[in-house]
Amino acid sequence: MTVLETIQRSAEFLAKKGVDSPRLQVESLLAHVLRLPRLNLYLNFERELTSAELEIVRGFVKRRGAREPLQHIVGSTSFCGFEIAVDPNVLIPRPETELLAERAWSFLNFLSTGRNQPTEPLAALDFGTGSGCLAVALALKCACARIVALDISFAALAVARANAKRLHATVEFLESDGFDALPSGELFDLIVANPPYIPSAEIAVLDPEVCKFDPRLALDGGADGLDFYRRLAREAAGFLKPTGRLMLELGDEQAASASDLLDAHNWVVEAVERDYAGRERILVAAPGAA
């Protein structure tokens, strides 16, 4: 079978299974198997696949048809230009989280340029690091800052550690339920969090790629999805310098509720920024005056 025939037949199969953008998905899988940039497939449409290649592609397409995410099949995804390995123990990093990363490293770099004689290095905390995508991006984009990343999941931390090591990012990882394992008195210039924010009852009706393959621990934000915003609103100020910032990713329609929770705990919500789809996605808050 040729490259073009494989693409056409597999895309038809995936479309029947309800997979979004089926042709793009097949092309990505095929490019991965043939170790080619995806667009180079277009220069190789008439190439015959070997029987070994065909067998691997068929296996991958079957898995994708069963709604396993492309990123699990190929083992990684791109985040802010870095290749982040993923497995079923971690949330697959999402494009909208890149906005949080960019906002966060801009803030750290802004702080670092304002310092003439830094007495201690800037420090940032990634709360709920998962694959380590945010922590790794911050470490690589802000060499001036010490980066600490925590997660309650030992298995996720193993993935995050491996990503940091492969990408030569210096990150201190900590297994912790919320802030519990952080020494009290440890103060950061920045806390970033993309916390679990899906209301528990809504998880079952998400796309199979999400509800069956992303870890529940990474999704479940409690009955109304806001449990982690409550916890952060209550506890994060105790780990932030007075000049620091809390930057949060928000779920759909959560901006007003998250802002109210923060207001009630003396935070000043400075900005709520929209993602590429126009949804309110990133919240920036500063601790209020004591």
Ligand X SMILES: C[S@@+](CC[C@H](N)C(=O)[O-])C[C@H]1O[C@@H](n2cnc3c(N)ncnc32)[C@H](O)[C@@H]1O
Q: Where along the sequence are the contacts to ligand X (CB under 6 A)?
A: 91, 93, 97, 128-131, 133-134, 150-153, 156, 176-178, 194-196, 217-218
For 36-55, b where at least 16 C-beta lie within 10 A, e where not — what string?
beeeebeeeeeeebeeebee
Token pair for residue 270? 């400075």
And the tokens for 131? 């694959």
β-sheet with 240-249: strand ranges across = 172-175, 145-151, 122-127, 188-193, 240-249, 280-287, 267-274
Between CA 94 and CA 247 the distance in angstroms is 16
- Cα(40)–Cα(288) distance, integer angstroms: 54
CB of 96 to ligand X, least distance (A): 9
Q: Is residue 78 classed as helix, strand or coil in its secondary structure?
A: strand
Smallest distance from the beta carbon of 115 to ligand X, in angstroms?
27
Least separation in angstroms between residue 49's CB and ligand X is 34
| Residue whose pair of structure tokens reads 């990343």 in the numeric block | 149
Q: Which run of H or of E encompasses 10?
A: helix 3-16
Looking at beta carbons only, is 33 or 86 nearer to ligand X?
Answer: 86
Measured from the CB atom, is 7 or 164 closer to ligand X?
Answer: 164
**Closer CB to ligand X, 6 or 71, in the complex:** 71
Choice between 83 and 177, CB closer to ligand X? 177
Q: In whole angstroms, how close is the CB of 131 to ligand X at the nearest point?
A: 6
Give dist(CA 197, CA 222) in Å, integer: 8
For residues 113 and 184, which CB has a smaller minimum distance to ligand X in the complex? Answer: 184
Closest CB 92 distance from ligand X, rounded Å: 7
Given the complex with ligand X, which of 34 and 133 has the nearer CB atom?
133
Residue 169 Cβ vs ligand X, minimum distance, rounded to whole Å: 14
